[in-house]
Structure 1
C-alpha cells in the first residue's frame, strides 16, 4: 500500500470514530440536561444504535454490496448524517430529537462496515495491515473526548447549565460533512456481489451460522455474549451522566482513558491467550465488568475519585478480553464456510439484540432510582449491572468446557 493510500485510510478512520465519539459518549448527559429527558427516553435514544445494527446488514447486503461503490455510499451517508446532526443540534425537546437520532444511527451503523471494506480492498495482508489503520479510529474517539472536555470545556458544570453540550452535535456534523466530501476522493471500492445474484435475508443476517449453536460450548458463549451486553449498556448510557452529576472534573476527557486502555490491552491479548487460554481470558473480561461497576458504586468525585478512574481504565479488559476474544473464538469455530456469517450473527446478537435489551433495562432501573431533586441513587444503580455480570461470570465458569483456541491477530 502506498503512503498516499495509507494516509487517506487513516484519515477516514480517524474521522469515522471522531464523529461517533464526539456525541455518543455525552448523549446521556445532553438528554438529561438540555432536553430534560427521563432515563426511559435516554434508553430509547441509545437503543437507536441497536436498531441501526439490526438494519445495517440490509443496507450493506441490498445496496452497498450490489449496486454502488462503497466509498460513494460512505460519502452520501455521511453528508446526510451531517444534516441530521445539525437537526439534533437545533432540537429543543426529546420528541423532536428522537426521529433525527434514529435516522442518523440507521445511516451511521452501515458506515462501520463500509470503512472496513474500503480498507480491506486496498490491503494485500489485512491481518498485518488493518490494525495500523484501525488504530486511528481509536485515536479519533480519544481526541473527540479530549476536545470536548479540555479544549471547549462543554461538559463543565457551568457549560452544562448554559446548555453548551449541544455543540457536540455541531462539531460531529461538521466532521461528518468533511468525511462525506473526503469519501469521494478515496480509492475506488466497487460492488462485491453481482446485482443479479440472489441474496437472501438469511445471507445478510448471517443466519446460516445458527448451525454453530448445535455445539454446546458455542451456544453457551453465544448466550453469554448477549447477556453481557446488558451491563455493557449501563456503561454506554449512564457513565457520562453519572460522572458529570457527581462532579468529576472533565468527565468526557477522563472517559477517553477507556479507549487508551482498549488500545493497550489489545496488545496484551496474545500473552493472556497463551498464558491462560480462552476460557480464563473471557472470565477475566467478565470479572472486570463486575469490578468496574463496584468501583463506580463506592467511589466518589473527591478522595475516592481514583476508584472511578480505575473503573474507566478497566474498559480495555472489559471490552478486549471478552468481545475481541469472542470474535477470535467465533472465527475458529466457524471455519471458512461460515466465517463471515458467524461474525455477522454475533454482531447482530450483541450490538443488536443484547444492547437493545440492555438499554431498556438500564432505563427502567435508572428511572426507578431517580430522586425527587432529579439526581440519582448511583450507588444502587451500579450494583445491578455488577451483580448481573457476576451471575454471567459464574454461569460461564460452570457450564463452558475449556478448549484450546489459537490467537489470530
Structure 2
C-alpha cells in the first residue's frame, strides 16, 4: 500500500499490446507527482490569489498570510533554528547559486555531487575545490580533513543522499569535522528530504536546500534555509522590487534576507504547495516511513542483483543503507533502450542517462549511463514486481516491439499507443512520432 495518496496514482497507460495498466512510476528522484493533499490545498488557495506584501485588499492580506505561514512551515520542516532564515527559490539549483554568491571564502565539495552542487560553486568569490571521494566512508572523511586542516575553507557542500546511488556520508561526522576547522556545512537535500528527516538545529548543519518538484509539490518552488548572517549582506540574488528599502535614480538601499533575495512577485502557489507537502511528510510516523522504503528497496535491489549481467552502482563499500534509489546497468544494453522497452511493454517509468552527475558516473566507469529506479511514498510491491518482471523479460528476450534510435532517442516503430485525450495534443499527434 502507498504511504500517501498521489495525484495520478491510478493513472492507466497504454502498452504496445493494447492493454491498459496502472502506471508504475520509478522516476520520482527526477520529478515526483503531486500529493493529493497538495493539489487540494492549491485548489483551495487559488480563489484567494492576489499580490503578496503589497496589497491592502482582503485577498492580498490572505495571500500574504498564506505565504508567510508557508515560510514558517517550511522552516519547521527542516528544524530551522530561531535565528535561521527561510528563502523561497525556484529549486535546489537556484538555492545553491544564491548561496554560492554569499559565501565569504572557499567552498569544498566531493566529486560525487549532482551538477547543481558542483557548478554554482565555481562562481563563489573565494573559489571552489573538489575532492575525489575514496572507496570507503572513512577514507573519504580523511580526504576531506586533509583539505580542511591545510587551508581555510568557508563552506563544505555535501549531498544529503546521492541522486545516483542513494548513499550518504554520516552527517554527524561531517558536521563535527567541518566545525572543528571553523567551516560551515551546506546539505543538498534535494534527494534526502523526500525519504528522510533532517533538523538543522539537532544536526548542526548550517544550510539546506531542496526542491518542491522532488518533494511531491511540483509547483515551481524550493527553499534555502540556514544561517542568515551571510545572506543578510550578500549581493541580492535578483535586483528588483521587494528586495529594497529605498531607491533613488542614483542609489539603492537593499533590505535584509529573506526579502533581499526574493525580488519580484513571489510564487505564492508554489510556496503553499511546498509547505503542504512538508506538513504531510512531517506527519508520517518515521518508523512506518522508513520500514516502507527499506522493505521495497530491499525487494528491488535483491531482485535486480539476481538477474544475470546486471551491476548496481555504489560509491562507498561501507556506507549505511541508502535511500530508495537503485541505479544499475545491464551488460551490452543501451540504458535508454531498456528504459524505452520498460515503458512501452510494461508500463514502468525509470530514468536513464548520467543523472546530472557526470564526474561520478565517469569515475565509476559508467560513462555511457545507467538506469535509475527510485522508490517513494506511492510505490507498492506490485510496482516493484512489475519492474522486475520487465527486466526479466528483457534479459530472456521476451520483447514485442521494434525499436530504432532516432536523433539520439529510442522510439517504437509503428507505435499504436494513442496520444492522451483532453490535453490539447491531438493536433500534434502526427509530430509525436513515438506516440502517433
Structure 1 length-normalised TM:
0.28
- Please, what TM-score do these two structures have when normalized by structure 2? 0.27
Specify which structure has the bigger relative contact order, considering alpha-carbon pairs within 8 angstroms and separated by 6 or more residues. Answer: 1
Greater share of residues in strand: 2
